[in-house]
Amino acid sequence: MALVEWKKDGTVAIITMNTEENRHNPDFAKGMLDAFDAIEQDQEIKSVVIASSSEKNWSLGIDLAWITGAMTNQELDSIRGFMYDMNSVFRKALTLPMPVIAAMNGHTFGNGSILACSCDYRFMKADRGYFCFPEVDINIPFLPSMLATMKKSIPYYKVEELVFSGRRIGAKEMEEHHIIVKACDNADALMEEAVAFARTYTKGRTIFAQHKLRLHKHIVEIMEKEDPEFIEPLNLMV
């Protein structure tokens, strides 16, 4: 089974992340980019849902075992390449000419939460799973574009709370603060709701692309102009 695979369901593409924790590493980034590229080439597809095959997790963020090993072995170019590739994943979600919907069926932490924020809409299972940014507790600062991406998806007062506290929140609280469209009762309801919502979008790609490009122009510019200041020297720890 591939780390990331996708299938076509009418006008909806469903991307499925296929490991227990869906950790982000170079292979994950490549899998996501390949899926996005293939979906974009299929002109019949009008929306995308990102799901997980794990019963417990949507995505727990960066593969700490991989990146720790890469740091120990001084594979710095590999780490830089991975960080740029993940920015490409986030940028694809931000600029794909159709809505991208996160169907979070479980825990969504760190870089996984950034991926969810890169999506246009979010649904989450209410009976299990937390969303959080644990970076404050593990001494890792966010890239500038990550903070900008959070602010497009989460009310600013809530961004401050989550970034500064590292607190875990559940689907009901996320729904209350308009971070997600809906807190769904269970995994089946989550996918039914997310896919049904995706089917409501049959807009033209040209206009959708322009709206997304203009709405998210500042995030892409920050990604291109400010992030390298921290990626190149690998200024990841404080």
Mean pLDDT calculated for residue range 161-179: 98
Mean pLDDT calculated for residue range 50-67: 97
Q: So where are the chain's domains? A: 4-199
Mean pLDDT calculated for residue range 222-228: 98
Mean pLDDT calculated for residue range 71-95: 97
The type of residue at 21 is E
User: How long, in residues, is the chain?
Assistant: 238
Q: What radius of gyration do the chain's Cα atoms show?
A: 17
Please give the share of the chain, as a percent, with pLDDT higher than 70.
98
> Does the pLDDT of residue 232 top 90, yes or no?
yes
> Does the pLDDT of residue 93 top 70, yes or no?
yes
Please give the share of the chain, as a percent, with pLDDT higher than 90.
96
Coil, helix or strand for 209? helix
Among the ranges given (23-27, 161-165, 180-184, 200-204), the one the predictor scored with the smallest mean pLDDT = 200-204
Q: Kind of pairing, strands 12-17 and 47-52?
A: parallel
154-164 per-position pLDDT tens digit: 999 999 999 99
| CA–CA dist 42, 8 (Å, integer) | 10
> Does the pLDDT of residue 238 top 50, yes or no?
no
The half-sphere exposure of 142 on its side-chain side, counting CA atoms within 13 A, is 26
Q: Is-contact 202 142, C-beta < 8 A?
A: no
The half-sphere exposure of 9 on its side-chain side, counting CA atoms within 13 A, is 17
**Confidence class of residue 236 from pLDDT cuts 50, 70 and 90?**
low
Average of per-residue pLDDT values in the chain: 96
Look at residues 149, 203, 208, 192 and name the one whose alpha carbon lies nearest to residue 14.
Answer: 192
Q: Which CATH class is domain 4-199?
A: alpha beta
| CA–CA dist 11, 48 (Å, integer) | 9
107-146 per-position pLDDT tens digit: 999 999 999 999 999 999 999 899 999 999 999 999 999 9
Question: What pLDDT, on a 0 to 100 scale, did the predictor assign at position 234?
Answer: 86
> Does the pLDDT of residue 66 top 50, yes or no?
yes
| CA–CA dist 121, 179 (Å, integer) | 8
> Does the pLDDT of residue 237 top 60, yes or no?
no
Question: What pLDDT, on a 0 to 100 scale, did the predictor assign at position 235?
Answer: 63
Coil, helix or strand for 162? helix
74: left (phi over 0), alpha (psi -120 to 50) or beta: left
> Does the pLDDT of residue 76 top 60, yes or no?
yes
Look at residues 109, 166, 133, 139 and name the one whose alpha carbon lies nearest to residue 235.
Answer: 139
